[in-house]
Amino acid sequence: MFAFAWPWLWLALPLPLLSLWRRPPVQQQLAGTLRVPFPSALAPPRPHARRWRMVLAILAWLLLVAAAARPQWLDPHSAMVVSGRDLMLAVDISPSMQIDDLRLNGQRHTRLEVLQDRADAFLQGRHGDRLGLILFGAQAYLHVPLTFDRDTVRQLLAEAEIGFAGNATAIGDAIGLAVKRLRDSGSDDAAVILLTDGANNAGELDPLEAAELARLSGIRLYTIGIGADSLQIEGLLGREQINPSADLDEALLRQMAALTGGEYFRARDTADLDRIHAALDILEPTPQAIDLPPRQELYPWPLAAALLLGLVVGGVRYKAL
């Protein structure tokens, strides 16, 4: 279905007539004569050239007004599912996320690589939700603002690299930033999904204070602790068994989630991550109602045609002279 987003701009169509109304009258008598060496350069355009210029100028103005009115193509048969829910992912990219204690397709991978792989399917299924992405280490920064464009969030999460945000873990700052962005969005249904493998050891905001801010703002926290419980490494006396998740502060993550009415999850392998994503789909279900049809903006076409006609009008005038 074809429509104009701002049809009231068609009221600007007669504006060029004002220039004719305000134009001063032509002087019938000339007070003096100006002698120039090339009188042909000042000769008025030939009648047929003037007519063509007028036709092209009118057409260019029509196209400019049409572009300003924002023509769009709406496809109601493939309408977008809109939930009104905002989900913000806060992902830890501190150096500890480089530990390769998880397996993916039978091979060992880093925690961040496994998280990126499993989160991709979760994000792809969040139809109708506005998604945002915060990456944090020693600092927290907004990587993707809230958007319906799931593909952009997936791509930028997949491109995240260890150490971009520093070499520590500022959980409180990440939650505080997520709460601020969600509160500014004005949504009545918002949640933060925090994925980390460590304990808070940097930043200005205490994690529990950040969780309290989330509770006061009506925002739920779902915290996920990622990392295996055991890992074999080569030591001085041969292979040793260690706990690579010894630094994970599960008590803090559990307390933060409980404070806001959310839930804490423990991800020791890819199967756990898949179960967590299924649980989140139940806790934060995707909507079934259809609301907003997708829009394809068409204004670049009349705008480009108007600019092209403007160049043609200038060429006709130059040739006529």
**What is the secondary structure of 123-154 as a DSSP string?**
HHT-TT-EEEEEEESSSEEEEEEEES-HHHHH
Query: How many whole angstroms separate alpha carbon 317 and alpha carbon 314?
Result: 5
The predicted structure's pLDDT at residue 289 = 47
Confidence of residue 4 (pLDDT cuts 50, 70, 90): confident
| pLDDT tens for each residue of 227-267 | 998 777 766 666 777 788 888 999 999 999 999 999 999 99
Query: How many whole angstroms separate alpha carbon 178 and alpha carbon 89?
Result: 8
The predicted structure's pLDDT at residue 206 = 95
When pLDDT is averaged across residues 69-81 and rounded to a whole number, the result is 70
Q: How many CA atoms lie within 13 A of 274 on its CB side?
A: 4
Q: How many CA atoms lie within 13 A of 320 on its CB side?
A: 18
Q: What is the pTM of this model?
A: 0.66
Residue 89 pairs with which residues in a beta bridge? 133, 193
| pLDDT tens for each residue of 188-210 | 789 999 999 989 999 999 999 99
| pLDDT tens for each residue of 105-150 | 888 899 999 999 999 989 988 887 889 999 999 999 999 999 988 9
The predicted structure's pLDDT at residue 35 = 59
Token digits for 227?
């990392």
The string over 249-287, giving b where at least 16 C-beta atoms fall within 10 Å of a residue's C-beta and e elsewhere, is beebbbebbebbebbbbbbbbbebbeebbeebeeebeee
Say yes or no to pLDDT of 276 above 80.
Answer: yes
Strand order, beta sheet including 219-226: 140-147, 130-136, 85-92, 189-196, 219-226, 263-267
Hey, where are the domains in the chain? 49-71+299-321, 85-283
Which residue would you say has higher pLDDT here, 64 or 316? Answer: 64
CATH classification of 85-283 is 3.40.50.300, yes or no?
no
β-pairing verdict for 102-104 and 107-109:
antiparallel
Q: If you count DSSP H runs as helices and E runs as strands, how many of each does the chain have, helices first?
A: 9, 13
The predicted structure's pLDDT at residue 29 = 46
Handedness of CA 174, 231, 249, 284 (dihedral sign): positive
When pLDDT is averaged across residues 181-189 and rounded to a whole number, the result is 84
Residues 138/165, Cβ–Cβ less than 8 Å: yes
Say which range, 53-62, 145-154, 201-210, 307-316, has the weakest mean pLDDT: 307-316
Confidence of residue 313 (pLDDT cuts 50, 70, 90): confident
Say yes or no to pLDDT of 46 above 70.
Answer: no
The predicted structure's pLDDT at residue 76 = 61
Which residue would you say has higher pLDDT here, 19 or 66? Answer: 66
To the nearest whole number, what is the mean pLDDT of the chain? 83
